[in-house]
Amino acid sequence: MNDLSGRIGFGEVGLSLVLVAVAVTISWRRRAGLEQDILVATVRSFAQLLAIGYLLEWLFEGGRGWLTPFVLAVMVATATLTSGSRGKGVPGARWIAAAAVSIAAASTLGVLLVLGIVPAAPRAAIPLGSMILSNAMNTASLVMARLRDDLASHRREVEARLSLGQTAAEASAAWHRSAMRTGMLPIIDNTKVVGLVALPGAMTGMILAGASPASAIRLQMVVMYMLVAGNALAALVAGQLTVRRLFTRDHQLIRGLRRTAS
């Protein structure tokens, strides 16, 4: 049977929990202290995937495509809260995260829809949108955290640049570039080795579902290029907005950032 998904029921899912037991055992034996986190993650993933599975089935098969924007909006809100919580020390971190993930998703998914590369149906828009949002969320978090930490640890050099008449953007440019590289390099490296080191999720899912490898490859190409653009936009927006929030209007580092530096 080519469609592997048709062979997997809840019995098989239960049997696969043996693999979770392996992870718990390793953590326990090596005293890593991750047993509870692994169990919580397992329970949460089961509940969340079960709920979204039934929701998507209801959405796809009931002619309820008009609900797609609302589903994507919930995903944006969740990504914003998650990324914003990782941007501690950056004023307005949640607003920065919201702007980064929203612009990344709207721009890249919008291009795919406008050019007719993918259909506007929920079956295409929601999975692709979720991929963009999850990657943009991680990128925004990395950029905010890296900029905050680097500017704090190099406070004296930044303030010396400011005292010489440089603007906030000029004084922070080196660390701004470094933060953007940190946020963008993971997806760039994945794109470089796709097909050589790993078969990505979209391609693997199609092959397991019985699609031809050629069809799966073409879809994966679109997905990878989409993610590269989405991550670049998220890094750009998060970086620009973070710099603005870490400096005052008078081009001085904010007090909170000066207190965290030695």
pLDDT digits over 224-240, tens only?
999 999 999 999 999 99
| Residue 120 pLDDT > 80 | yes
pLDDT > 90? residue 214: no
Between CA 238 and CA 223 the distance in angstroms is 22
Cα–Cα distance between 259 and 262 in angstroms, integer?
A: 8
Instruction: Tell me if 99 sits within 8 A of 140, measured CB to CB.
Output: no
What's the pLDDT score for residue 6? 61
Q: Which amino acid is at 205?
A: G
The pLDDT mean for the chain works out to 88
Domain ranges of the chain: 1-62, 67-260
